[in-house]
Amino acid sequence: MVKQHNSASTMEIRVGFELELRCPQPTPMIVTLGVHASRATDLLEPDTLQVEPAVPLRSYIDSYGNQCQRLVAPTGVLRLQATGVVADPGRPDPVLPELEQLPVEALPEEALLFLLSSRYCESDLLNDLAWSLFEGSPMGWGRVQAICDFVNNHVRFDYGRSSPTKSALTTYDCREGVCRDFAHLAIAFCRCMNIPARYCTGYLSDIGVPQPHSAMDFSAWFEAYLGDGWHVFDPRNNTPRIGRILIARGRDAADVALTTSFGPSTLESFQVWTA
């Protein structure tokens, strides 16, 4: 249940997950499942990772600033779970149409990486298409919004029509996918138009969304660099949402996998909740 906290506009949102993996042999893993450090001061109850059976954990920060943990999963079923409470401003994603796009030569160095083609966002292969679609759109916020509008209209959401290897180009061609695929296609188009864009994953509540609600899952969106900072866009939902809680950022989904197994593993069950 969402509770008010401190002020009329601030909410307490309980978040969490439980997943089970089966490994036929001891398997090294990287886990990226905790609330991002940028929201650390908002954690009223920390989302400490619980592992069953208990195994040693080693924490580190990756090159994108994400909180990761290393472990070796034993043979059999490994259960990973966490729950926490986050204080959230209770406001929808900001809409700032006045923000301008910086020329490439004026971008900060840390944003340049997010102009490049990556594993799931083949901007080099989509460049001509992107310019034919968006060259006439207003630069800045309006151009990124035009990209989100196109992706939202072009791609049909379908839980059964994605795969771990599906890329932006494949999504454009088949016109079906999940939020991950919407984000990859929009990111690739932004990079084609010289707008830095980075992939995000995290919790997204149903606060303010009419019922019926779909089953909970981790959500994907992206951030574009406009003006002097990064700003949220969500081509899957394509409307400002309340209660977006970041877990990780990267070039694309390859950088922010929830679990990375260095050996065979099978996902047995998976639940996510925000309330």
**Residue 13 near residue 85, CB atoms below 8 Å:** yes
- Domain 3-90+258-274 architecture: Sandwich (2.60)
Amino acid at residue number 74: P
How far apart, in whole angstroms, are the C-alpha atoms of residue 207 and residue 121? 30
Q: What pLDDT score was predicted for residue 3?
A: 57
Pick from 213, 230, 212, 232: nearest CA to 222: 232
Q: What pLDDT score was predicted for residue 164?
A: 86
Parts of the chain belonging to CATH 2.60.40.2250: 3-90+258-274
User: In the structure encoding, which two tokens stand for residue 236, read together?
Assistant: 């899957």
Pick from 75, 78, 5: nearest CA to 45: 5
Is 104-241 a domain of CATH 3.10.620.30? yes
Q: What pLDDT score was predicted for residue 153?
A: 98
Q: Which segments of the chain have a pLDDT < 70?
A: 1-8, 211-215
Residue tagged 């900060």 (tokens) = 108
What's 102's DSSP letter?
P
Burial class (CB in 10 A: 0-12, 13-18, 19+), 106: exposed
Q: What is the pLDDT of residues 144-200, one digit of tens each?
A: 999 999 999 999 999 877 788 999 999 999 999 999 999 999 999 999 999 999 999
Parts of the chain belonging to CATH 3.10.620.30: 104-241
How far apart, in whole angstroms, are the C-alpha atoms of residue 145 and residue 179? 16
Task: Output the DSSP codes for 198-255.
Answer: EEEEEEE--TTPPSSPPPP--EEEEEEEETTEEEEE-TTT-S--S-EEEEEEESSGGG
Q: What pLDDT score was predicted for residue 215?
A: 67
Task: Output the DSSP codes for 118-143.
Answer: BTTB-HHHHHHHHHHHHTTSPSTHHH
Q: What pLDDT score was predicted for residue 1?
A: 44
